[in-house]
Amino acid sequence: MAHTDKTTGDKVRLDKWLWAARFYKTRSLAADEIDKGRVKVNGQVAKASREPRIGDAIELRAGFDHRTVCVKGLSSVRGPAPQAALLYEETAASLLARSHAAEQRRIAPEPSQSLTQGRPTKRDRRQLQDLRGAPPDWNERWSASIDE
């Protein structure tokens, strides 16, 4: 069942369609990905203002996932996920590649993904120093006084 947008007929911007189909959380994120060349329509790098048509093949990257979908319906209104899933159909090759990539990430995860924090804060450094023992007293170690 093909859905069409009631407000604009069959004309919908690509960034709006990607947002309505729930590939990206915001329309601006969809537009950014398009501007970076990460979205292709029928094998060609697209612009955000391009109007997808029913039957177009769209290649996109969202997070770790590379997807190839076929447009089945047009909408510029973001609805619930089951309704958004009716707007496209993912190709069998794309589903297979995504499941293979997910399996690879499960077997051998990227080492940088295990890092939950960046550099330690000042508070973290102080706690580390307390665990290692008292920090050196700089007045005892170095003397700038003439009294000695």
- Total-model pTM: 0.69
Three-state SS for the chain is CCCCECCCECCCCHHHHHHHCCCCCCHHHHHHHHHCCCCEECCEECCCCCCCCCCCEEEEEECCEEEEEEECCCCCCCCCHHHHHHHEEECHHHHHHHHHHHHHHHHCCCHHHHCCCCCCCHHHHHHHHHHHCCCCCHHHHCCCCCCC
The domain ranges of the chain are 14-105
Question: The domain 14-105: what is its CATH number?
Answer: 3.10.290.10
- What's the confidence (pLDDT) of residue 5? 46
- What's the confidence (pLDDT) of residue 9? 57
- What's the confidence (pLDDT) of residue 139? 60
- What's the confidence (pLDDT) of residue 130? 84
- What's the confidence (pLDDT) of residue 78? 94
Instruction: Kindly give the confidence (pLDDT) of every residue in the chain, 148 residues in length, as a single tens digit, with 9 standing for 90 and above.
Output: 444 444 445 789 999 999 999 999 999 999 999 999 999 999 999 999 999 999 999 999 988 889 999 999 999 999 999 999 999 999 999 999 999 999 988 898 777 767 677 788 888 888 888 888 765 666 665 656 665 5
